[in-house]
Structure 1
């Protein structure tokens, strides 16, 4: 967040960040399960669409930044609510993260889990949780142990043997999970 990285105009950036967060909360994009849906309808209501992992992740990162800027527990508490909802609602019975399009995702969706893992790492660094450590470890171990081919390429579905071709997005996402685990 710009506010935490520039000198001068901090109050302006802080007020803008708060206004954007207030708008986001009022939009209803955070649903009754504490997960963030895909987008809004034309009249700015929650579309009830897909709960993608990246929507949860980018919001975690933003809330950690707001917490750092404000010192109000509300933001970090909200980040924990979303993280816990994502860990509960976007995983399989072994706690491995999935997006609903797997194993046949389009061009951008293979990046999504990495965005979540990167921002969960940021949340973990800001507010230690054994629950997140276990999740991060499981989601780093699974692609490495399950979804890696003989050339050490990492694919899309972390919980099964290598089935999809690896590409920059699948490998980047899996590496985000591995880096999150190494960080702790």
Structure 2
């Protein structure tokens, strides 16, 4: 009989605590919401209207054209090149993924720590007007590239934009450049599709 009353008391206590907790949450001024984190591969994580693509230009030496296209009809974008395929040091930052297309082995790259001049100079910005595109060439001529020829490599680029603004480069102030990590699109992801880069 004592066990019955002990079990009954425990159940009643549990129900009372649950009801009081629910009442507290209901009466609280603080909204409670649960949000599922977005997948890093989601297109929503990128800068809206910007597309980045790779295209092979040359097989000897192997080189790719990196194209940044702005499909937004109204908004210009200015991007800080650092840490993107548009960076002059892109092949030293590990932004490219390079895999031997036959063996599936990833090419081991030498990634360097680069000291950057602050604030970023204006030449480290690239502006893409609405409905236009900008492109640069990247030559894969680093000593860590395999010497075997002919060869095919699967190449893509992905990462996060360090600094980006929805305006023309001339309108980006020195204060904004100094605080590029606080820019409106900082941390937005970018990714290109895979392409096959042939080396002859």
Normalised by the shorter chain, which TM-score bucket?
under 0.3
Bigger Rg, structure 1 or 2 = 2
Indicate the structure with greater helix content: 1
Relative contact order (alpha carbons < 8 A, sep ≥ 6): 1 or 2 greater? 2
Q: TM-score, normalised by structure 1?
A: 0.25
Indicate the structure with greater strand content: 2
